[in-house]
Amino acid sequence: MTAAPAAMPAIRLRGIAKSFGPVRAIRDASLEVATGEIHALMGENGAGKSTLMRVLAGMYTPDGGTAEVEGTEVTGWQTADAIAAGVGMVHQHFMLVPTLTVAENLVLGQELMKGVTLDMAAAERAVRDLSERTGLRVDPTRKVSELNVGEAQRVEILKVLYRGARILVLDEPTAVLSPPEVQELWEVLRTLRANGGTVVLITHKLDEVVAISDTITVMRAGETVGRMATQGTTPADIARAMVGRDVSLAQREAGVRDSGGPAAALLEVRDLAVAGARRARAVDGISFTVSAGEIFGIAGVEGNGQTELIEALAGLAPLAGGSIRLGGRDVSTLDVRGRIDAGLSHIPEDRHRRGLVLDFSIAENLILGLQHRFSGAAQLDAPKIATNATSQVKTFDIRPPDSALPARALSGGNQQKVVVAREMGGERPVRVLLAAQPTRGVDVGAIEFIHARLRAARDAGSAVVLVSADLNEVLALSSRVAVMYGGKFVCVVPGSEATAALLGPYMTGAARGAA
């Protein structure tokens, strides 16, 4: 009896290479994904994962190697070719038009016409039907600007499915989702798989990989270094393959102080109110204190006032009411530099908007906001800046390790390392650290390092305010945990009592309480 031929893989990439000027993003990358599976693509920042997938999606032309989709060679094809062939990529940063409705975003470029006008009724029916069939339920008549991040994520996936995608690439799809929304996404992916769809998932969250994927491919330094079946594989196994060594994964410490206790209150916030773009009060009368040697974690679905709270504390947004005291001093009216000089440090959630000047060099970005500490009588002290950059690049493992490169040339994770290095490294004295999404988009090794730095700051007597969309991160690090919903704290509990089961309903608004 002749054995049945092996099924044609949905994706087969062999020996892919891609450089951007002197930076070699991929040197020898291969990937094979079976039809009808959920395949996780893992690796450290700068390993080449997103670059490889952009080659698949027709966004980049490889310098070498071959690409096949469903048995057809497609090396060097364009984005339109990939879409026509059923390959759709959902990027980490949403690409939606906020002023248009869900239906208008989905049919953009493929409009349903009635004569010479857009047939909106037909478009809305088509979107509603697709939404129901996939389980990605969202109102097609709502404007994107009115959606929360979970709903916007559904629209991004619906957009590529509307264009006929059978092969779906998701780049960090859960970065801004609450635990219930993550579970909803998993159900959608399982439904797509059951219907013959193929999914490639890029994520740094190891527990997610174990929960949802069938197979894992690991990249390191632009090369494919491993492939494994998910069944029987642990997060520690994946981390070891990614980094090349054992990695201490985030977990709750024993004996972490649950409250500020007798330690001095370094940050005191009273009745804080901040105006919002979508509602009168993005932050609505919040009060809390953070003591020396404490990490105060703030959990919640993004869009509930966390951004406005941190920016008000950092001096980037005006107060509509209330006060902020740092080390006993009222800093409510101080500007950003005044708060920095008072001992405030800020890792912003949006590294492009608040953390970096992308066309400046790594060395220049490492002193942003601190230029007055790197200047002589009349000009910047170039040798001091260079020495600082050399030290920070090495300490924080910024890749490529060339401080003259513009920040734009780095991967997203390495850009984040530049921001973290500036705000937590060097000789900078930090009394209060505002850490907003400090590990967003960074790999497991960098997460381990950043978590260690946050704990070191706490142990050195700093007061740390941690805002993270990753609930596991909040639970692992926090002495106390608050949940923010609708501009208010609806729950504040000791870190030892906080669990995903307890906090999840507060995060989605299903449970409400007085904090």
Which residues on neighbouring strands pair with residue 215, listed in sequence order? 39, 229
Fold of 11-243: Rossmann fold (3.40.50)
pLDDT of residue 4: 40
Cβ neighbours of 427 (radius 10 Å): 7
- Residue stretches of the chain with pLDDT short of 50: 1-5, 254-260
Identical fold, 11-243 and 251-257+264-338+465-515 = yes
DSSP result, 211-229: HH-SEEEEEETTEEEEEEE
pLDDT of residue 513: 65
CATH number, span 251-257+264-338+465-515? 3.40.50.300
pLDDT of residue 256: 47
**pTM for this entry:** 0.73
pLDDT of residue 251: 60
Return the percentage of the chain with pLDDT > 90, whole number.
60
- Distances in Å between the alpha carbon of 263 and those of 65, 153, 254? 60, 42, 19
**Tokens encoding 92:** 């980490």
pLDDT of residue 515: 57
Q: What is the pLDDT of residues 411-458, one digit of tens each?
A: 777 899 999 999 998 767 899 999 999 988 777 878 888 899 999 999
**Tokens encoding 228:** 């494994």
Q: What is the pLDDT of residues 48-71, one digit of tens each?
A: 998 999 999 999 999 999 999 999
**Separation of alpha carbons 126 and 133, rounded Å:** 11
Domain-by-domain residue ranges, the chain? 11-243, 251-257+264-338+465-515
Place of tokens 């991929």: 26
Q: Kindly state the DSSP code that residue 353 receives in the 8-state scheme.
A: I
Which H helix or E strand runs over 124?
A: helix 120-134
**Separation of alpha carbons 362 and 410, rounded Å:** 9
Cβ proximity of 279 and 487 under 8 Å: yes
Strands 198-202 and 167-171, how do they pair?
parallel
Q: Kindly state the DSSP code that residue 351 receives in the 8-state scheme.
A: I
Q: In terms of DSSP H, where are the helices of 273-409?
A: 306-314, 336-341, 362-365, 382-395
**Separation of alpha carbons 225 and 205, rounded Å:** 19
pLDDT of residue 436: 95
Q: In terms of DSSP H, where are the helices of 197-261?
A: 206-212, 235-243
Strand locations in 22-148 (E): 23-33, 38-43, 64-69, 72-73, 87-90, 113-114, 117-118
**Separation of alpha carbons 52 and 417, rounded Å:** 22
**Separation of alpha carbons 395 and 380, rounded Å:** 23
pLDDT of residue 249: 67
Cβ proximity of 91 and 79 under 8 Å: no
